[in-house]
Amino acid sequence: MVDGNQSAIELPGKDFSESRVEADGFSIRYLESGSGYPLIWMHGGAGLRLSRTHDLLALKRRVIAFEIPGFGESPANDRTQSMKELAETMLQAISALGIDEFDLVGNSFGGKLVAWMAVCAPERVQTLVLVSPAAIRLPKPDDAGDRGLGPDFLYAHPERQPPFEPRSEEVVTKERALISRIRGPARDEELESSLAELEVQTLVLLGTEDRISRAELGDIYRELMPACQVVMVYDAAHALDADRPEAVTSVMEDFLDRHEQFLVRETSGLLYP
């Protein structure tokens, strides 16, 4: 997939700085940029990868993207036994940064994590955004494999992305062990019954070309969470924030700022005064 053009694509996240925070016995790495109301982002099963959406969001708010303990270069996480437990750990990490209330975003595997976080601490979460969430899992396509998702699954247009750097076998094995231990069933009754009661304003973003968290999930989330809004992101696959950063940022910001009132257009259609 890597070619000369891809190498020339600017890597996102250059304004993000790296830090660590101690929480629940873990030393947790995070990337941060921007100032204003905090937006916490939990990554998916492919690990912490910033997209241009992170950059664009950080122009107007304080964006903090955590690396889940057990992912990337962090030591293997053999301790966490469930998503709910991981949610409690990450809530402690946010508190350790002195942040009480925040907007919360999670994609894919991180979508299930943030759903649990919102269930555990609804009073702290101002708005919840589920990006290609795996809180409910549909059967995988036959060719998806079990090593994690490559660029053809993550992106509708892999050729427009910076070179995809595969993780080492060791990292993948470590991450897969954690994911398979804690991710829970495809339909998680305990989580779903809690989501049905959740009053946090929620936005679900689904890519029209996503073969994992497919568009049909829109109906399922709407039926499950009466307060949630579902938006299809056209011509985007699983990593929809990387595929359509301007479109994703625009709808996310509108929702974060105006909550359900984002349904009503505020921008002018006037051509000439």
Partner 1 sequence: MLAALFCTTRYGGPASHTTWPAACDTYSAEWAEKSIERTLSQFRAGDEAGFDWVTVAEHHFAPFSMTPNPMVMAASLVNVVKRAKIAILGPDIPILNPVRVAEEIAMVDTMSGGRVVVGLMRGSPNEYVTYNINPAESRERFEECYKIIKTAWTQKQPFGWQGRFYEYRSVCTWPRPVQDPHPPIYMSTASPEAGEFAAKNRIGAGFAFTTVQIASKAAQFYRDKCNEYGWTPEPEQIVYRLGMHCAEDDDEAIEDLRSAGGGQPAVGLSFRNRSVESAVAQSGFYGRDMENQRGRLQSRGEVASRIEKGQVLVGTPETILKQIKRIRDMLGCGVLDLSLGAQLGDKTMKSIELFGEKVLPRMHEL
Q: Is 25 left (phi over 0), alpha (psi -120 to 50) or beta?
A: left
| 110-138 residues labelled b (16+ CB within 10 A) or e (exposed) | bbbbbbbbbbbbeebbbbbbbbbbbbbbe
Asked if 160 interacts with partner 1 (CB under 8 A), we say no
| Distance in angstroms (rounded) separating the CA atoms of residues 109 and 86 | 12
CB 161 within 8 A of CB 5: no
Least Å from the CB of residue 184 to partner 1: 24
Q: Report residue 5: phi and psi, to 5°.
A: -65, -40
Residue number with CB closer to partner 1 (139 or 269): 269
Beta bridge partners of 107: 131
| Distance in angstroms (rounded) separating the CA atoms of residues 221 and 238 | 17
Q: What is the DSSP string of 248-264?
A: HHHHHHHHHHHGGGGGS
Interface with partner 1 (CB under 8 A), residue from 155, 244, 245, 256: 244
Interface with partner 1 (CB under 8 A), residue from 156, 229, 239, 245: 229
Q: Name the nearest CA neighbour of 56 among 34, 88, 83, 81.
A: 34
Residue number with CB closer to partner 1 (105 or 233): 233
Asked if 214 interacts with partner 1 (CB under 8 A), we say no
Task: Mark the segment that binds partner 1 (CB under 8 A) among 88-96, 149-157, 158-166, 241-249.
Answer: 241-249
Residue number with CB closer to partner 1 (134 or 228): 228
Which residue type occupies 58? A
Residue number with CB closer to partner 1 (14 or 265): 265
Least Å from the CB of residue 259 to partner 1: 12
Q: Show the binding pattern over residues 163-202: x = contacts partner 1 (CB under 8 A), - = does not.
A: ----------------------------------------
Interface with partner 1 (CB under 8 A), residue from 47, 232, 257, 259: 232
Q: Show the binding pattern over residues 247-266: x = contacts partner 1 (CB under 8 A), - = does not.
A: xx-xx----------xxxx-
Residue number with CB closer to partner 1 (175 or 241): 241
Interface with partner 1 (CB under 8 A), residue from 129, 154, 230, 256: 230
Residue number with CB closer to partner 1 (169 or 266): 266
Least Å from the CB of residue 73 to partner 1: 34
CB 65 within 8 A of CB 54: yes
SS3 218: helix
DSSP state, residue 74: S
Beta bridge partners of 130: 106, 204
Q: Name the nearest CA neighbour of 37 among 95, 101, 90.
A: 101
Asked if 223 interacts with partner 1 (CB under 8 A), we say yes
**Residue ranges in contact with partner 1 by CB under 8 A:** 205, 208, 215-216, 218-219, 222-223, 229-235, 244, 247-248, 250-251, 262-265
